[in-house]
Structure 1
């Protein structure tokens, strides 16, 4: 893939730029670029996949606009038809090892993000464009209504059901599909009649690799897959591959957004939301993720 990053940045940003390749993404070519305005982190994909980087830029801008949590500042996202590529450039982040109070600061930041009225949707769930989760297209068509009914429709059509169909087309094991079908058909069992999910802007893919600490101690988040969703889904992903940082839960609770209903019900919903990400990993990587997704799906079925 022809990607003369310095000359392209010279033309769109001015000045004289240098770049060195990195190997930090499974889904895009990456560089560190240095120029008159400092350092940038640059991603490039073929033009046919331009929407992937454009959606990332859109998500970062939406998160930044809330003023609640630090994200890398965007330098630009450009389609380069001459070289059949799309480039996304953003601030280079100088990171530090998380300290003992990182979890507390992250909890306060995410609580503020989830409490901020979403920029659009009128209480419904979705987003104004589709984006990607890893390399998987993530559908974000708006739910037809708000509240419990709207969330159930969004979760069925745009999340679990959408990945079930992708897995079926990919030839997923029949056991996984037969576990998913009754689970998806019975999603209302996870949401009591009085359950009213909050419509919040969420990062959408907040595992440990997509959050970090800046040298000044501020939490920073990146590589989003944003949507307006139940914020419990954010917390589920944050804990999928390990516990939240120490102090996070207590700080987040100060925002008054703790899951409603019984503790058992909240735990079951968390496992359900985690299943969405397990299904995505099964789609992307196969292997043990397929069996793990089936195990989790079967464990969630009513007994």
Structure 2
């Protein structure tokens, strides 16, 4: 799909630059994504429906800003976020992707650990945002268990049941988990999380510098980010080793991966259907 004339005109007016070329690039299932060649240089742009995904790119801009303020790990610079008609767009710094090597994985692990040292008084975030194309509630709580239950698991379980992807029996089993949840982990201060840290949400540039992209930030248990890295691959041993050298994870973290991954798996059930429901049930069985 081509970039609309309305978006082109809006960009040229606000950037005070001429667009010379627009080339489609990979950008996920939700957005149209392009490389913009302009008289000011190259940029990355994402475009979607303002009606379908209100505030999505403003939330992303806020998440990138929160990570950037930590001065620990790079994120793309936001060039422009704007709306025109029913289209919303986000223009970011263009990052020329390179090839990840051991040293890049080590940097990624170490810098993520440093980011996780940034804490807040409560679990949650100052505003709601998106996890994929689903709204994510970040209402703040003093308890991790309460936050994880009320703002993460319960909304996704309800949605999945409404979609008939999960059953009343699954609700009962999650209720059993909720009773046990406060005793399944050791409390740590709420850490700033990327929130959607799978292998497609980081880049390594041609100089070997890691960048985090497409955040779904909140303050939560740092094991949540680590758990997500194990779902679909893309992270090697050097990453985990460097992370643990910089900020060691608490004993038993490997056993808790299935706990934290209940949330992204439920998101996948609601986005992609019942093929993920089996994995949700398997993870749940590890704790009840």
Shorter-normalised TM range: over 0.9
What are the Cα deviations for residues 128-150 of structure 1, in whole angstroms up to 9, with x where unaligned? 1111111111110010x2xxxx1
The question of 1:234 aligning with 2:225 is answered yes
Matches of 2:103 and 2:194 in 1, distance apart?
Answer: 21
Alignment of 1:47-66 (within 5 A): 47-48=50-51, 49-66=53-70
Q: Residue 99 and residue 109 in structure 1: after superposition, are their counterparts in 2 closer, same or farther (change >3 A)?
A: same
Alignment of 1:38-49 (within 5 A): 38-48=41-51, 49=53
Which residue matches 2:123? 125
Which residue matches 1:32? 35
Which residue matches 1:12? 14
Matches of 1:295 and 1:196 in 2, distance apart?
Answer: 25
> Contact (CA 8 Å) 1:102, 1:245: kept in 2 or not?
no
> Contact (CA 8 Å) 1:53, 1:88: kept in 2 or not?
yes
What are the Cα deviations for residues 33-56 of structure 1, in whole angstroms up to 9, with x where unaligned? 111221111111222223111111
The question of 1:176 aligning with 2:177 is answered no
Which residue matches 2:246? 255
The question of 1:213 aligning with 2:207 is answered no
Identify which of 151, 157, 170 aligns with 1:164.
Answer: 157
Paired residues in the alignment total: 283
Matches of 2:145 and 2:286 in 1, distance apart?
Answer: 20
> Contact (CA 8 Å) 1:105, 1:251: kept in 2 or not?
yes
Q: Which runs of 5+ in 1 are unaligned?
A: none
Q: TM-score, normalised by structure 2?
A: 0.92
> Contact (CA 8 Å) 2:137, 2:152: kept in 1 or not?
yes
Give the Å deviation of 1:23. Answer: 4.7
Matches of 2:11 and 2:100 in 1, distance apart?
Answer: 32
Q: TM-score, normalised by structure 1?
A: 0.88
Which residue matches 2:74? 70
Which residue matches 1:197? 188
Identify which of 180, 184, 203 aligns with 1:186.
Answer: 180
Matches of 2:101 and 2:255 in 1, distance apart?
Answer: 31
Matches of 2:226 and 2:239 in 1, distance apart?
Answer: 10
Q: Secondary structure at the match of 1:204?
A: coil
Give the Å deviation of 1:256. Answer: 3.0
Matches of 1:300 and 1:107 in 2, distance apart?
Answer: 28
What are the Cα deviations for residues 122-169 of structure 1, in whole angstroms up to 9, with x where unaligned? x210001111111111110010x2xxxx11110110111221111122
